A and B are shown apart, each in its own frame.
Chain A
């Protein structure tokens, strides 16, 4: 047993390939046999991944040494690398055509998320401007939240809430995108570019689109990747001052 543990420990990434392969095989089996393909296998596999994450905290199940390779396979380096590779299947003309809509949706997305987040935090009893701005920033992505909170000097509890808000956003985008896609006409590259700009949380956007239609992933990823930067730029500065002015 000890030898097995050492071998897996030393080859974490390889073990992660095996694990994910197993998860996807199981997801495919369930999708075909139990749901008659009504729930896509990719969506099921992602849900199973999320379920496994409950076994740990900070890095999900990768907190357990045996499964630490999953954090490397699912980390930002390989994730971004493979997202860039999906650009091979994208059509430059379609991106040009959706360019303006993409830029507008980015600004609308960040502004909208921030102020809806602030409004909800305010209605649930938070009143100081710094906390409100931090939670609003967390409603953009789980990176914008702590960046804003640190800049404004709020307590770690508020920062934790802002991170949690961003993570909830990722989860909701992952789970609900395939369900709601038809209703919001998210079935073409143009809409995917807009979707990426509006939702912005890269992991949620790409996971949600992957579960909906693989072909849409590069288009959504392209705009989503600008979202966190834009949020980090606007939230602690313009939006915070605006909020202070209102209050």
Chain B
């Protein structure tokens, strides 16, 4: 049943969010810290475990794949509901700072990617 997959996804999502919120409270930040990340790790571990046990059926998995595929349309909807006018109205400070920070950050990617990467894999991993 597809709903089993969706239910598992929901369980991981809720538990992850709860862990994230507790972590936020623990370090006195009034928000969810890494909730989505915890949920993703949980889902990966659960699906690995269930597959090993042979309890994982194709239809249940499809329930999760559906939501995974809905990701792009959701991002398009998100883009359409962003406050883009605020970005323009923040003046030059916002535009220059926002753009500089992002572009400079991107340029650091190859530098930091070297950490923990086996050398022989550096070129072949495409």
Contacts and interface: CB of A to CB of B under 8 A. Distances in A.
Interface of A is mostly: helix
Interface string B91-116: 11111111111111111111011111
A198 B83 contact: no
Contacts of B24: 229
Contacts of A190: 113, 116-117, 125
A119 B54 CA distance: 56
Contacts of A223: 37
A167 B86 contact: yes
A191 B109 contact: yes
A124 B66 CA distance: 47
A58 B87 CA distance: 11
A147 B93 CA distance: 19
A62 interface: yes
A161 interface: yes
Interface string A96-133: 01111100110011001100110011001010000000
Given A24-B72, A109-B105, A204-B102, A161 B93 contact: yes
Contacts of B105: 109, 112-113, 198-199
Given A124-B92, A169-B102, A184-B106, A60 B71 contact: no
Contacts of B68: 82, 85-86, 88-89
Interface string B22-56: 01100111111111110111011101100000000
Interface in A154-193: 160-161, 163-174, 176-177, 180, 184-188, 190-191
A184 B62 CA distance: 34
Interface in A189-247: 190-191, 194-195, 197-199, 202-204, 206-207, 210, 214, 217-218, 221-223, 225-226, 228-230, 232-233
Contacts of A198: 105-106, 108-109, 112
A176 B98 CA distance: 13
Contacts of A21: 73
Interface of B: 9-10, 12-13, 16-17, 20, 23-24, 27-37, 39-41, 43-45, 47-48, 61, 64-68, 70-110, 112-118, 125-126
Given A59-B81, A101-B116, A184-B106, 8 more contacts: A17-B73, A60-B80, A62-B80, A84-B40, A169-B101, A172-B102, A184-B107, A190-B116
24 contacts: A71-B81, A73-B74, A75-B81, A80-B13, A80-B35, A81-B13, A82-B71, A88-B47, A98-B117, A104-B112, A105-B108, A124-B93, A138-B94, A138-B97, A164-B98, A169-B101, A172-B99, A176-B102, A180-B106, A186-B109, A198-B112, A203-B78, A207-B75, A233-B27
